[in-house]
Amino acid sequence: MSERKYRIAVIPGDGIGGEVIPVGQRTAEAVAAKHGFAIEWQDFDWSCRRYAETGRMMPEDGIAQVKGFDAIYLGAVGWPGVPDHVSLWGLLIPLRRELDLYANVRPVRLLRGMTSPLAGRGPEDIDFIVVRENVEGEYSEVGGRLYDGTDHEMVSQLSIFTRRGTDRILDYAFELAAKRKRKHVTSATKSNGIVHTMPYWDERFAAASARHPDIATAQYHIDILTAHFVQHPDWFDVVVASNLFGDILSDLGPAVAGSIGIAPAANLNPTREFPSLFEPVHGSAPDIAGQDVANPIAAVWTAAMMLDHLGEATAAAELEAAIETALEDPATRTRDLGGTADTVACGEAVLKALA
Ligand code: GGG
C-alpha cells in the first residue's frame, strides 16, 4: 500500500473540460503508481449546466467544500447561453480570490518534437514563464452603469492595484527568476496611456528590482511586448504582468510555441494556507466540444504542475518527459498541432511513453 495519498477536487467544468481532464487524471494515476503514491479524486459538477439547472455555477458553500483538499484540478469554464462574465464570476474568480490564488504561473516552452509556427525557432529559443497577478487589477467588480438605456448611458470599470497585491506578485516573479538559469524578469506595463495604475506598477517593479539586485530586468509597454513575443521569444525568462495583460500574454505565448492546446497553468496560493488550483489555459471550446478532437496535452502538463506542487517533482518531470516523447511522433498529435490523433489516442500515447 502506498504511504503518500493526495486528495484532489476535480471540476471538469464545461465543454472540452470533460474530455481532457479524464486524460490528465489517467496519466497522473499512471505516474503515481510508478512512484509509489496514490491520488484520490472527488468530482464536482460545477459548470454552466449546473447553472442552467440551479441558477448557480457552484453551491453557496462551494469554497468551503474544496478548502480541505490538497489541490483542485479544473477543466474549463463557459458555455453558450450563459454570459461569459456570469460563468467566470460564478466559479473561477471566486475560487481564485477566496483561496487567495494570487500567482497564476503559466509556462511557455517549445516542447521536444514540436515546431514553432515561427520559422527557424528551436526549443532553445522559447522557454519562459508568464506570472500573472490573479486576484485584482483589471478583474474588478467595482464600477457600474448609470442612466441605463438613455442617451446619457455611462459605464465605468475600476482597476484595483493594492500595494500588498502588487508587491507580492512582483516578488514572486523575482524569486522564481532567482531559481532559473537566466535570472531575468520582464515587466508588462502601459504607463504611457494608463496614468494611475500603470505608473504605480512601474514604481513597485523598480522597488522589487531593488530588493532583488541579482536579477536583470526589462520593461515594455504591453503593445510592443506582444510584438516582441512573436519576433523575439528568446528574449524572455520570467514575464510578470497584471491580471488582464497576463491573461493575454499567456494565450499568445503558447500560440508562438505551437498551440494553446498545450498550455498549462497553476493558480498558486504560495503560502499554502489553501489548496492551489490547476487548470489548462484554454477555455471550454464549444466549437469542438463533444468531438474527441481537443488536445489533452495542456491538461496533462497541468497535472504535472499539480504533482510538482504536491512535492512529487520526480513524477512530475517524468510526466512532462512523457508528453515530449509522445509529441515527437506526428501520429500522436491532435489537429491543432497539424496531426489527426483524437483526444483519447493522444492520451494513450502519453501513457505508452510512461510505461
Ligand atoms: N481553463 C479555465 C478556463 O476555462 N479559462 C477560460 C477563461 O476565459 N478564463 C479567464 C481567465 O483566466 O481569466
Residue nearest to atom 7 of ligand 1 (CA): 283
Spacing, Cα 281 to ligand 1 middle (Å): 6
Fill in the amino acid letter for 265: A
Predicted pLDDT of residue 123: 76
Strand, coil or helix: 241: strand
What is the rounded CA–CA span in Å between residue 240 and residue 290?
35
Predicted pLDDT of residue 115: 79
283 touches ligand 1 (CB under 6 Å)? yes
Q: Which atom of ligand 1 is nearest to the CA of 76?
A: 4
Contact 187, 209 (CB under 8 A): no
* Pairing, β 71-76 against β 4-13: parallel
279 touches ligand 1 (CB under 6 Å)? yes
Predicted pLDDT of residue 133: 98
Cβ count near 94 (within 10 Å):
15
Q: Which atom of ligand 1 is nearest to the CA of 279?
A: 1
Predicted pLDDT of residue 345: 97
What is the rounded CA–CA span in Å between residue 9 and residue 71?
6
Predicted pLDDT of residue 118: 80
Contact 133, 242 (CB under 8 A): yes
Contact 327, 337 (CB under 8 A): yes
Closest CA to 28 of 268, 328, 309: 309
Spacing, Cα 76 to ligand 1 middle (Å): 7
Cβ count near 155 (within 10 Å):
10
264 touches ligand 1 (CB under 6 Å)? no
Residue nearest to atom 6 of ligand 1 (CA): 283
Q: Which residues of the chain have pLDDT under 50?
A: none
The edge-to-edge listing of strands for the beta sheet with 71-76 is 37-43, 4-13, 71-76, 276-280, 264-268, 103-109, 127-133, 238-241, 184-189, 216-221
DSSP state of 146: E
Predicted pLDDT of residue 2: 59
Give the phi and the psi of residue 209 in degrees, each rounded to 5: -60, -40
Rg (CA), the chain: 20
Give me 27's grid cell: 496519466
Cβ count near 143 (within 10 Å):
10
Residue 332 CB contacts under 8 Å (≥ 6 apart), including other chains: 326, 339, 341, 345, 346, 349
Q: Which atom of ligand 1 is nearest to the CA of 75?
A: 1
Predicted pLDDT of residue 1: 53
Give me 263's grid cell: 498550455
137 touches ligand 1 (CB under 6 Å)? no
Residue ranges with strand state E in the chain = 4-13, 37-43, 71-76, 103-109, 127-133, 143-146, 154-157, 184-189, 216-221, 238-241, 264-268, 276-280
Spacing, Cα 147 to ligand 1 middle (Å): 31
Q: Which atom of ligand 1 is nearest to the CA of 265?
A: 1
Q: Where are the alpha helices (DSSP H) in 212-277?
A: 222-231, 243-256
Average pLDDT for the chain: 96
What is the rounded CA–CA span in Å between residue 279 and residue 114?
22
First to last CA, the chain: 20
